[in-house]
Amino acid sequence: MVRALASISELVSLGRLVPQPADAAALVAVLLAGRRDLEAAEANRATNAPWSDVMLYEAGLRAARVIVQAAGYRIDAAKGAHAVTIDAADVLTDQRYHPAFTRLQRMRRRRNDFMYETAPDPANADLDRARLDVSLLLDVAQTAVDGIS
């Protein structure tokens, strides 16, 4: 069963997203941090694959947050904010990158398992796919920032 995504207007009416002017300079800084996360993930991959996976997730989350903020929204900090951020970015990109955002949601759950539970190490194929997805999402986020007038 596929979970239906909430519309942006629904997320605004629920208070999960709040209209706020985009700050291009701040978003560029977030993108730079995301690219550093991507590099750090690769540097740590051989010695600590689970931590590498977490860094990839964080880079992907930064990309999703930039997409949402570039569209003129602030994400509330209530429980579930990461999931809302990813879903909102998916909706704002007209679900053109839905498979990557779906995998980012899975990475979010793996991150939670790693941080709060015990979880098996991610497979190399998972890390390869995550790196490709996050690189794509960072590029999409860069395009969103470039579109701020």
Q: Along the 149 residues of the chain, how does pLDDT read in single tens digits?
A: 456 788 999 999 999 999 999 999 999 999 999 999 999 999 999 999 989 998 999 999 999 999 999 999 999 988 888 889 999 999 999 999 999 999 998 898 888 777 787 778 889 999 999 999 999 999 999 999 999 96
Q: Could you say which DSSP state residue 80 is in?
A: T
Residue 2 lies in a domain: no
Residue 34 lies in a domain: yes
Residue 15 lies in a domain: yes
pLDDT value of position 2: 55
Residue 1 lies in a domain: no
- Could you give the number of structural domains in the chain? 1
Question: For residue 23, what are its two tokens?
Answer: 């700050």
Coil, strand or helix at 73? strand
Residue 98 lies in a domain: yes
pLDDT tens digit string along 23-34?
A: 999 999 999 999
Residue 94 lies in a domain: yes
- Which pTM does this prediction carry? 0.93
Determine the structural domain holding residue 134 and report its residue range: 8-146
Angular region, 18: left φ>0, alpha ψ -120 to 50, beta rest? beta
Distance between CA atoms of residues 15 and 8, nearest Å: 11
